[in-house]
A = this chain, B = another copy of it.
Amino acid sequence: MRTRPLKVALLGCGVVGSEVARIMTTHADDLAARIGAPVELAGIAVRRPGRVREGVPAELVTTDATALVKRGDIDVVVEVIGGIEPARSLITTSFDHGASVVSANKALVAQEGAALHAAAEQRGADLYYEAAVAGAIPLVRPLRESLAGDKVNRVLGIVNGTTNFILDRMDGSGAGYSEALDEATALGYAEADPTADVEGFDAAAKAAILAGIAFHTRVTLDDVHREGITEVTAADIASAKRMGCTVKLLAICERAADGRSVTARVHPAMIPLSHPLASVREAYNAVFVEADAAGQLMFYGPGAGGSPTASAVLGDLVAACRNKLAGATGPGESAYSRLPVSPMGDVITRYHISLDVADKPGVLAQVATVFAEHGVSIDTVRQQGKDGEASLVVVTHRASDAALSATVEALRRLDTVRDVASIMRVEGEERPGNGPAETHQRVSGE
Contacts and interface: CB of A to CB of B under 8 A. Distances in A.
A443 B164 CA distance: 11
Interface string A291-311: 111111111111111111011
Interface in A153-195: 160-162, 165, 187-191
Contacts of A138: 138, 141-142, 146-147, 297
Contact of A445 (B14, B314, B443): B14
B293 A336 contact: no
B302 A300 contact: no
Contacts of A305: 295, 441-444
Interface in A280-299: 282-283, 291-299
Contacts of A334: 33-34
A301 B298 contact: yes
Contacts of A142: 138, 141-142, 146
B301 A19 contact: no
Interface residues of A, number: 88
A403 to B, nearest CB: 32
A162 B446 CA distance: 8
A244 interface: no
A299 B299 CA distance: 5
A440 interface: yes
Nearest to A148: B318
Interface stretch (A23-31, A51-59, A91-99): A23-31
Contact of A307 (B162, B295, B336): B295
Given A295-B308, A308-B295, A34 B148 contact: yes
Interface stretch (A248-256, A325-333, A370-378, A394-402): A325-333
A308 to B, nearest CB: 5
Contacts of A165: 443
Interface stretch (A129-137, A340-348, A359-367): A129-137
A112 interface: no
A438 interface: yes
A237 interface: no
Contacts of A291: 136, 311
Contacts of A293: 19, 23, 136, 307-308, 310-311, 314
19 contacts: A15-B444, A16-B445, A27-B151, A33-B216, A135-B446, A146-B315, A148-B318, A149-B317, A150-B314, A162-B443, A162-B446, A187-B442, A276-B279, A293-B314, A294-B301, A298-B299, A299-B300, A302-B439, A304-B446
Given A34-B331, A149-B314, 5 more contacts: A23-B149, A23-B150, A138-B147, A293-B308, A305-B444
10 interchain residue pairs of minimum CB distance: A149-B314, A305-B441, A138-B146, A304-B446, A136-B294, A293-B311, A328-B328, A148-B318, A297-B301, A294-B311
